[in-house]
Amino acid sequence: MLNPLIDWASADRLSWQWAAGEEEATAEVERLLDQAGLTIDAVMAQTLAVRIDDVERIDRMVTIAEARRDAVLREIRARRAAFGRALRRAGQAIDAEFGDVAPASGRA
């Protein structure tokens, strides 16, 4: 966006400084954009247009990662449920009687 406004070398240097958040560069970029009748929104829109393939690829990767996470969580829930059922069955299968036992006398 700066190339038509200033020479390429200056635009490259200024854009890197602006991206790094340098205050002087930010002020200069805003001044140049204002002279050209542009806003920072125009810069963001142009950047998105140039990088849309990257944005779509990242979005696909996030979607795949979320699907994997959801599958893992479903598997964990299923295994916990199966483990809980197995524990309940094991607890019901125990047929033991418990009674009070008198304490042993003090003899060794």
Count Cα atoms within 13 angstroms, Cβ side, for 94. Answer: 8
Looking at residue 91, its pLDDT comes to: 77
Residue with tokens 């779509």: 56
| Position 5 pLDDT exceeds 80 | no
Amino acid at residue number 21: G
What is the per-residue pLDDT across 17-48, written as a single tens digit (0 to 9) for each? 988 999 998 898 888 888 888 888 888 898 89
Distance between terminal CA atoms of the chain? Answer: 95
DSSP state of 6: S
- Mean pLDDT of all residues in 77-96: 84
**Residue percentage of the chain with pLDDT more than 70:** 92
